[in-house]
Each structure stands twice: as structure tokens, then as C-alpha cells.
Structure 1
Amino acid sequence: MTGVSAGRAGATGVPVRVRLHELAARPDGEEWIVGRMSTGRFVALPDDGKRCLDLLGQGLSLPEVAARIQEETGEEIDVPDFVEALIELGFVAAADGHDLPSEAVPTPPLARVQGHHVRWMLNPFVPLLIGMLICAAVVVQVSRAPVPLTYRSLLWSSHGSLVIGMSAAAGWTLLLVHECAHLLVARATGVPGRMRLGTRLQFLVVQTDISGIELAPRRHRLTAYLAGIATNLAVAATGVLAASLADPGTTLHRLLSALTLLALLPLPFQLLVFLRTDLYFVLQDLTRCRDLFGDGAAYAQYAARRLVGVAHRTLPGPEDPSRELPDHERRAVRTYSVVLVMGTTLCLLFLAAVTLPADVTLFARAVGGLGPDHSWTRNLDATAVIAALGGMHLLWLRTWWRRRRTTRRS
């Protein structure tokens, strides 16, 4: 970026006057959250930084901004360095009258859905109605013959292909509806939102990026974070109420029971906050942390290096990265780092002890079931297993690699 500026702003390499992109801002304690909704890039600035940004937006030159800040606060700010940081963030549209290269803004999913179309999702009566629906389902479960919610509910048909097909179709549909709930609530606040595949340790997930929701009021932020869980609970409650109206033992009753259980099954996963689930973002917001996961991981690495140094009696390593955080944030980060380490360790142990051995066994059996010595049904079954297992693992690897490359570039 500095090379671009040097070519357009003279020998100093720093522009004299800049034009900013449209930026949004919200006060957050003693700081300001500022960023571009279109790109999803946001930073925290102190009051002086926000004032400097406002003056640049008014068209003042860099020397004029520096003089004005010094006059108002008595402090000196390195405005050229500040502007270079803004350029790297993509906040500057033009320098000295010349447009700067700007990253392409991807078209968000469901682009035709505008904020005013879904503003009703922010109405306080919506969670109240969902709560009433859930309460009604609980009353039905307690007062009448309960809808069965065991593993047998998933085996609603004697035909395995129908069970697998329905479970896959309903599961993916519920997953997309869950993520669309996040997306649409964020859209109601003015955040475009984007959906993509992602990885959480060994898990392949669909995730919705709602960067920019930080600028919304806390109630709206929490609504966006909890929209997916609320959607699953609403679907499950509707399934319970509908099943209570169907005759027990009928195909419809069994299907509704299976749908109810499929809607509830993803919810325990949300408790794994070390995987940055929906509840992680709720926790991060309530603890008023900027980056609970990143700071927690940094503190865990520091603690591990410190333990190794003590064990080997070497010189102390780098300083505690949490020391610069506010007191409330430091306590939350240190506590979360314990959860992060323990949860990650247990997940990886489960992967090594259960998931990988099961997958390898299934794959080996499938390979052994191929060939002219076996029936066509055995060959078909083996091919389906190899395609399913191989496809999922290849998709996980591809998603992980793309995310890694993107992180390195960032």
C-alpha cells in the first residue's frame, strides 16, 4: 500500500489529503468500533483516533488534522502512520485525488432481501412468541403422551434408504434454515452477512459471517447470535405440537417425531464454546471481550511456553499477552483459555480414539468389498461408502486449506 501511495503522493510516500470510504461507527466504552460494512473489516479506536478519522472525512489535509488534534487535546498524533494503517484496512478510497485499488466486494447471499424486509425479526415480540411456542410444547410433552425422542425416533421406517435419505434432507435443510436465521437478523441491522463452509477442528461446518454486527445495539447483537438456536427450538416445538395431533404409531407421527429430534440434535454442539459456536459469541459479548478466542489461544500458548521454560530452567519467554487487557477481559480470557485447551484436547482424543478408527475400518471394509468376487449389491454398497467417506474428508481438507491460505494472506 505504501508503494501505491508513493507513486501518487510525491516523494514522501504519504498522501496529503485522502477520501474515505463510507464508514460506520459505534461508541463502545472508552473506544469506538469503526469499519466498512461492505468488506466486514472493523477496528477499535480511542477517542483521538475517532476524532482524527472524522477530520479526515471532512476533507482536512494530514497536517491540518495533526494541528487540529494537538490544538484540541494537547497531544501529538502521527497522522501519516494512522493514514497508512487506514489504507491497509481498505478504509481509504482515494489519496490526493487518485482512486486507490479496492478489494472486490462479494455479492451477499439472498441479495434481494433488504433490511426493511426483515426488520420485523428484531421486534421484541418475536422471541416472546417463540418462548410461548416452546412453553406450549413442554406442556404437551408433560401433560399428554410424550412424543418419543430417543434414537428409535430416527428409525421411523423399516427401509434404511428412506431413513438415511430423510435424515440427510431434513438435516441439511435445518442447517441452512439455522444459518439463514443468523443472516436475516443481521441483514435487518444493516449487515450484509455471508455464508460459507468452514472447519472447527475435525468438524466441517456451515458458518455465517456477520462481521459488522458489532455496530448494532447489544439486544440486536444477541438476537443475531441466538437466532439459529431459537429457530431449531421453534422447529422442534412445532414438531411436538403437530405430533400430538397425529395418531400415535402412524407414519406421520413417526416422521414428526424424527423431525423434532433432528432439530434438537445440533443444540448440544452449541455448548462447545471452544469451537466458536453461537454461544461462544454470546459469551464473548457478555464478557465484553474483543477477541476471546484469539486472546485465549495466545494466553494458552504463553502458559505452555512458561511451563516448558520452568521445567527446563531456561530464561523466561515473552511477557503475558493478557497483561495489557482490562481487568474484566483478562479474567475472562484466562478462564476461557482453560476451557479452550481442555475442550480441544478432548475433541482431538475423541478423533484419534473413535472417529478415525471407525472411518478407517469402514473404508477398509469397503475396499475389501470391491471386485468381481462380490455381488453387484456389495460392490454398490462399497462404492457408496468410499464415495461418502472420501468426499467428506476431501471437502474438509479443501475447506481447511482455503481458510489457511486466506488467514495467511490476511
Structure 2
Amino acid sequence: MRRDRDEWIVGRTATRTFVALPAAGARAVELLRQGLGVAATAEVLRAETGEEFDVADFVTDLAALGFVARIGDRTLSDTEPPRASLPWLRPHHVRFALHPALPVLVGALLAAAVAVLVRRPDLLPGYRDLLWSPHGSLVLLAGAAAGWALLYAHELAHLVTARAAGVPGRMRLGTRLQFLVMQTDISGIEPAPRRHRLTAYLAGIALNLSVAAVLVPVLAVTGPGTTAHRLLAAALLIALLPLPFQCMVFTRTDLYFVLQDLTGCRDLYGDGLAYARYVARRAVRLAPAAGKAAAGTPDGTAGGTADPSLRLPPHERRAVRLYSAVLVVGTAACLAFMAAVTLPADLTLLIRAARGLGPGHGLAGNADSAAVLLTLGGVNLLWLHTWWRGHRARRAAARP
């Protein structure tokens, strides 16, 4: 349990189920945990607040969430907790991840790297650094290997930091619009202190920045034009490339969870999506053809549909409405870029690679084509598989 403004965050870390309760609800949970029965809990709440509470219905709701172990002599069945990644990793193994000195160390590494770049601006990476070899197959395969290794390390940083806070955590593949991502579910971090929560959210970004900061001075002492220098420059760029993606908060990146925490919103994405849909429906109903009869009423309704943001506290309402605009514009821009650039480029490369296979193209030509098909085609097939698996899971969860 953790107090958050006028509410309390209450839940179970093992099942990663958390809810926001008013003060009276949190007090009821506390009394029930002490062993008081339903009637006794209701009596204490009446004496403390002067109000009547239906504690029996409240207990029923808690039981549906898996928060109740026993009612009388009857033991309730428990839901199986989600499987954790690296279950052998214990909090005491990784307690260092929450040490206050760690952010200072990361800051010192970044400061040193910036100082080197100020003296040696020629070390700033550019897209040509990725093309470290004239053989496209080598560039693709090495880039894919380095990118996935760094991605795993990024998510491992989230897992380690959350585990240090006592949260199991689970790493798995997922999709964000047209992007294939690896994500770490650290649900259960909600009752932790804010410093621990923000550290867990930002651990992946800190890992990328730390890797880049270490590579900069190493790159500075490596001979320009050598293979080692070219490989280090490519690794530096690969470490930095995921960081702009983190600014796309409309895809629920690491910075999205930081934003959600700082604004005090419970479900910034879900509430923002609901508000965007409400605005879209209202715009359709208020179109000139619909006439003035469809105009919204003072209570925030439009054609019988209530504004979902009105049920939120004022500070959440403002954040949700602003985020909904970012969500709509960002999603539209991403999908438009995919349709205009990414998809045509991928199809062109795949078609060229397919045509480049055969006895008339030599060993090098066939190797390059096979590498493109394996790398690019494999990523797209993995995206489709991951998206379909997530879609089926969401449909199964929505069934009554």
C-alpha cells in the first residue's frame, strides 16, 4: 500500500494487480488485514468517518481481484502469478541497482564523454558509420547482432532494477505500431518509492547512454580509418539510435511511464485513447450535415456519449487531454511514415534480394541476398507472429 495524493495504491506484487482506492477503502483493507470481520470493519469506519460503508460488497470486489485469501473457514482459490524472467535472480543479488551513487556514476560518464566530444567533434557519429564494410551482408548481420544484444541489455537493466525493488518482472517480445520491441513488464513497482519507480523506468535509457559514454573515449584513442575504429563508431551509433524512439511516448515507451508517474495518471494511454475516441465521435456528430441538434450539452455529452475525462480528477483530466492530442498526431505520423517510406523500402529490398538469388549471381551475390532475406524478412515475420499472439491474448482476455 502506498499513498498517492488523495488516494492509496493497493495491490499484490506477486500477481501484479493494483488498484487506486480512496482513504476509506485503504482503511478498510488495513482493518480486514488485522483480522476484523465485515461487520466490525463497517462499525470502525462508521465511528471514524460518520458514514455508512457496504464492506460486504467491497470484500466481494477485493476477492474478484485476488486480494482475499480466506472468508471464514473457506480458502479462496488463488490465481497463478505470472511467470518471471530469470527467477533465480534475487533482490539481494542486484541491490546495487538502486544505490543513490549509481545515477551519479552515469552522470560522470556522460560528462566525460561530452568533454571528449567537445575537443573531438569529428567523433560525433553519422549514418555513414553504420556502413563500416562494403559488404551489405556483414553490415546487416553485425548490426542486427549488436542491436539485439544491446536491446536485451536495455531490458535486462529494467528487470534488474525492478528485481532490486522486489518486483518479479518479465521480458518478452511485443509490438508498438509497426515496431517490433522487447519489453519488460514491471507491474508491481507501483507501491515502491518514487525514486525506485523512476530508476526502474529510466534504467534502460541509462544503460544505452552509459555504453555510448564508454565508447566515446575508446574511440578517441583508436586510429582513424582502422577496422576497430569503424566498428566502434558503428557500435556508438547503434547504442544511441534507440533513444529518439523513447521520445515517442504515444507508443508507451520508457519515457511514457515516467510521464505517467509524474502526472499522477493511473492509465494515461487508456484514458487518452478513450478521450480521443470521444472527440472523434463528437466531431462526426457535430458535422454540418448533423445540424445543431447534435451539439454537446453542458454536462460534456455529445449525442448521448459522455466525456470520459470528466470522471477523472482535474490534474489527470488536463494531462489526459493533452496526451490524447500527442497520441493521435504521433500515431498518424508513424503510420504515414510506414506507408510512405518504411514499407516500400522493405518491399524493394526483399524483392531485390529474392531476384539476387540464383546460379548467375555468384557466391558473394547469393550471400548478400540471403543475408537480406534472413535479416529483414525474419524481423518482419517475427513482428507478424508477435502481433498475432498479442491480438489473440487480448481477445481471450476480453471474452466474458
TM-score, normalising length: structure 1: 0.88
Equivalent in the alignment of 2:255: 279
Please say which of residues 155-164 and 375-384 is displaced more in the overlay. Answer: 375-384
| Cα shift at 1:166 | 2.0
Cα 1:382–1:238 change in 2 (3 A) is closer
Contact 2:31-2:41 within 8 A present in 1 as well: yes
Deviations 1:85-110 (A, max 9, x none): 21221112233333323222244222
Distance in 1 (CA, whole Å) between partners of 2:267 and 2:27 is: 24
Greater mean deviation of Cα atoms: 161-170 or 194-203: 161-170
The DSSP-based 3-state class of the residue aligned with 1:214 is coil
- Relative contact order, CA 8 A, sep 6+: which one is greater? 2
Give unmatched runs, 5+ long, in structure 1.
1-24
Structure 2: distance between partners of 1:157 and 1:221? 42
The equivalences for 1:83-122 within 5 A come to 83-122=59-98
Structure 2 spans left out of the alignment, 5+ residues: 295-302
- Note the C-alpha offset of 1:381: 5.3
* Residue in structure 2 matched with residue 55 of structure 1 by the alignment: 31
* Residue 264 to residue 284, structure 1, CA distance change in 2 (3 Å): same
8 Å Cα contact 2:140-2:372 kept in structure 1: no
Aligned with residue 279 of structure 2, among 294, 297, 303: 303
Deviates more, 1:192-201 or 1:151-160: 151-160
Q: What is the CA–CA distance in structure 2 between the aligned matches of 1:172 and 1:52, rounded to whole Å?
A: 47
What TM-score results when the alignment is normalised by the length of structure 2? Answer: 0.90
| Correspondent of 2:307 among 308, 316, 320 | 320
Per-residue deviation, 1:227: 1.0
Contact 2:137 2:367 survives alignment (8 Å):
no
What CA distance in whole angstroms lies between the structure 2 residues aligned with 1:389 and 1:248? 31
Match of 1:38 in 2: 14
Task: Report which stretch shifted further, 257-266 or 75-84.
Answer: 75-84
Distance 1:259 1:366, change over 3 A: closer
Counterpart of 1:348 in structure 2 is 335
**2:197 equivalent to 1:221:** yes
Alignment deviations for residues 343-370 of structure 1 (CA, whole Å, 9 cap, x no partner): 0001111111122222333344445556
Q: Is the 8 A contact 1:306 1:317 kept in 2?
A: no
Distance 1:264 1:368 in 2: 34
> Secondary structure in 1 aligned to 2:89?
coil
Segment drifting more, 114-123 vs 381-390 = 381-390
Partner Cα distance (1:97, 1:345) in 2: 55
Question: Where do 1:3-402 residues align within 5 Å?
Answer: 25-144=1-120, 146-311=122-287, 312-313=290-291, 315=294, 316-368=303-355, 385-402=372-389
Query: Deviation digits for residues 125-152 of structure 1, max 9, x if unmatched?
Result: 2111111111111111111363241122
Verify the 8 A CA contact 2:141 2:371 in the aligned structure 1: no
Q: Deviations over 1:262-306 (max 9, x none)?
A: 100111101111111111111111111111111111111111111
| Residues 217 and 396 (structure 1), Cα distance of their counterparts in 2 relative to 1, 3 Å cut | same
* Identical columns (%): 60
- Provide the rounded CA distance (Å) in 1 between the counterparts of 2:277 and 2:19: 24
3-state SS of the aligned residue for 1:207? strand
| Residues 370 and 99 of structure 1: CA distance in aligned 2, closer, same or farther (over 3 Å) | farther
Counterparts of 1:333 and 1:34, CA distance in 2 = 23
Give me the whole-angstrom Cα distance separating, in 1, the residues matched to 2:122 and 2:92.
40
Amino acid at match of 1:320: D
- Residue matched to 2:298: none
| Mapped partners of 1:113, 1:88: distance in 2 | 31
**8 A contact 2:219–2:229 mirrored in 1:** yes
| Residues 151 and 81 of structure 1, relative CA distance in 2, 3 Å threshold | same
State how far apart, in whole Å, the 1-side matches of 2:78 and 2:374 are. 41
Please give the alpha-carbon distance, in whole angstroms, between the structure 2 residues aligned to 1:406 and 1:261: 36
- CA 68–405 in structure 1, closer or farther in 2 if over 3 Å, else same: farther
2:299 aligns with none
Structure 2 distance, partners of 1:151, 1:28, is: 45
Deviation of 1:398 after TM superposition, in Å, equals 2.5
Which segment drifts farther, 329-338 or 396-405?
A: 396-405
8 A contact 1:309–1:317 mirrored in 2: no
Deviates more, 1:291-300 or 1:81-90: 81-90
